[in-house]
Copies of this chain bind each other. A is one copy, B any other.
Amino acid sequence: MSPQEAAAEITAKKDIEALPASGVWTPILMPVDENYAIDIGRFLEHANAILERGCHGLAIFGTTSEANSFSVNERKALVEAAFEGGISPQQVMIGTGCCALTDSVDLTRHAVSLGCRKVLVLPPFYYKNMSDAGLFRSYAELIERVGDPGLRIFLYHFPQLSGVPISYRLIELLLKDFPSVVAGIKDSSGDWNNTAGLLQRFPDFAVFPGSETYMLQGLRSGGAGCITATANANAGAIRRVYDAWRQSDDTTDTLNERIVAVRTAIANYPLVPALKFLASKFYHDPTWRSVLPPMMPLSDADGADLLKRLESVGFNRA
């Protein structure tokens, strides 16, 4: 590491603490029963297991939670049950971005009313090729209708699924009018160049790569940590990389290689079915494999192959 890099790293470390969210966040899997109804008991067991392993927080109702496969009422009921079950609203970021503005407003107001002011907001994702002015209007209407200066919005950039990228220009427009409310971004593009551009252009922004693959590289450039689906399976090890980096520990890069290898092994399969398959192993509960349509559960053969791949990279959940 060059002296410049070391200096940059220290600055980055300082900045992170001032951000409204930072560290290792898990977009949590949503366990359902055979009728696709959310199972709060298994949810709480899993949420507590992840937090005990060191995750800084949970993103509830992102892509990994199959958010868009649940109705607004199902989503609100789970959030209420989570907080009643002891999950702290401060440790949570709730996905509230829907195609319908009225739904996004409803879910965001609901989160705020329960004391959770951090929300992860997809752009409306049915219509494609919308202008930045139109997308700005979606976010601006949401912010104005909710009307809470304490709200902290994390933009959700996942162009492969939403089909609606969040451009630098859109972020500039939003930061100009809502500099404290629009607080960060989850960059699930998997495109490091896009993440690097965000880090360079928006130094005060909480930029989360959407995978641990780029967590360390991000941290070293001023990133906020990561929000990563695979933390459902590997939270402890990912947290250890984060801590090693914070402590400038010599083991950082070696530990990082291991979590990236685990991520790579899991990413051979559709992520949500694969992670639910792993949850079914962790909890000895085959119902955990259930995914909502249009997904399909991981097949037995793929599951066996996944376990072999994980064994070959020395994966250990502990």
Residues of A with Cβ closer than 8 Å to B? 36, 63, 68-72, 74, 99-103, 106, 123-128, 130-131, 133-135, 137-138, 141, 160-164, 292-296
Per the bound structure, the CA–CA distance linking A128 and B63 in Å amounts to 12
Known: A125-B126, A161-B127, A163-B163. A71 touches B295 (CB 8 A): no
| CB atoms of A293 and B102 under 8 A apart | no
| CB atoms of A293 and B137 under 8 A apart | yes
Which residue on chain B has the smallest CB distance to residue A128?
B161
Pairs A-B, 10 closest by C-beta atoms: A68-B99, A68-B126, A138-B293, A134-B294, A130-B294, A137-B293, A71-B102, A134-B296, A138-B294, A124-B294
| CB atoms of B296 and A124 under 8 A apart | no
| CB atoms of B296 and A100 under 8 A apart | no
| CB atoms of B296 and A103 under 8 A apart | no
State the oligomeric state as a number of copies: 2
Per the bound structure, the CA–CA distance linking A182 and B205 in Å amounts to 49
Per the bound structure, the CA–CA distance linking A43 and B260 in Å amounts to 55
Partner of A99, one of B69, B123, B130, B135: B69
Known: A131-B296, A134-B294. A74 touches B102 (CB 8 A): yes
| CB atoms of B68 and A128 under 8 A apart | no
| CB atoms of A130 and B163 under 8 A apart | no
